[in-house]
Chains A and B, each alone.
Chain A
Amino acid sequence: MRPSVREAMLAAVPSLRAFAISLCGNVDRADDLVQETLLRAMANIDSFQPGTNMSAWLFTILRNLFRSEYRKRRREVEDSDGSYAESLKSHPEQHSRVEFEEFRVALAKLPSDQREALILVGASGFSYEEAASICDCAVGTIKSRVNRARTRLSELLSIDGTDDFGPDQSTRAILSAGGRGG
């Protein structure tokens, strides 16, 4: 493997993990998925076109792996076992952990096609065109999924007392508090 290829793969790992965790809702499974992605990428490195976006290529592989294998076990995969929250405990930003967890729970309720579109465009920093390429669909489809995802998320985070979600005052506070994070 060329050093530059390895470096590019390593550089993509943090965001691959974030994407995988968003898809799986489970850190251990997500890391397995990232590992599979790297193995698959190495085995098919010849099909990577130098000069193109390594990150987008890896995201495509990861997304396809998730769809083909993990989706079959969706019930199991999307089971929240708290390992995500556990991973956040190691992070110094304790104060936002609860808010993160609430958000993650809401995120997990989205249909996976909406969720992946939202993450790719809203967090991973891909353009609509790149996201469409990763998800193998039309740009308009991505836009529509992102819009539906946002709408559904805000509904989930605004309504308290849903069965397994419970009161989410801190998240509502965030949604109604203007000018933060600036």
Chain B
Amino acid sequence: MQTDAHIRKAGGRLSREDQRRLGDILQRVYDDVVRQGVPDRFRELLNELDDSHEAEGSGVQRSVEEDSDARSGNGNGKSSGNEERDRHRGANALEHPQNKGSS
């Protein structure tokens, strides 16, 4: 029953062997994209969002931060705990506004 001819004739379930072959191609096609890794575009996007919300550059990102602050019981918005982080990442963002692309 498990012959290649059944691929065309059955119109129903494929043999396990046929499923395996299809799955094999599918996985390779998919993995070929996965192996391309993370394009710079997305790394930059997440960095930018990080920076801009700390530099108060974007309303969306600020609300994200406020939300997470509220959740952790830290209602002060920009709290002292973030200052060190701001110094590293936020400083650049202040000098070079990164609001572009967040429309």
Contact = CB atoms under 8 A, between A and B. Distances in A.
Interface of A: 1-2, 6, 9-10, 13-15, 17-18, 21-22, 31, 34-35, 38-39, 42-43, 45-46, 87-88, 90-91, 93, 96, 99-100, 103-104, 107, 118-119, 122-124, 147, 150-151, 153-155, 157-159, 171, 174-176, 178, 180-181
B72 to A, nearest CB: 10
B64 A1 contact: yes
A39 B18 contact: no
A158 B68 contact: no
B34 A45 contact: no
Given A1-B53, A17-B36, A159-B8, A180 B24 contact: yes
Nearest to A99: B25
Interface string B1-35: 00010011011111001110111111111111111
A46 B22 CA distance: 39
B39 interface: yes
Contacts of A154: 7-8, 14, 18, 22
9 contacts: A1-B49, A14-B36, A31-B41, A38-B45, A42-B49, A91-B32, A150-B19, A151-B13, A157-B22
Contacts of A104: 29
Contacts of A45: 64, 67-68
A15 B14 contact: no
Given A14-B37, A154-B14, A42 B4 contact: no
B8 A38 contact: no
Bin chain B's interface residue count: 35 or more
Contact of A6 (B11, B30, B46, B68): B46
B43 A10 contact: yes
The 6 closest A-B pairs by CB, nearest first: A123-B30, A18-B33, A46-B67, A14-B34, A154-B7, A13-B38
- Chain B CB count within 10 A is highest, among A46, A104, A180, for A46
A10 B49 contact: no
B42 A46 contact: no
B64 A43 contact: yes
Given A21-B33, A103-B25, 4 more contacts: A22-B30, A34-B42, A175-B21, A181-B24
B87 to A, nearest CB: 16
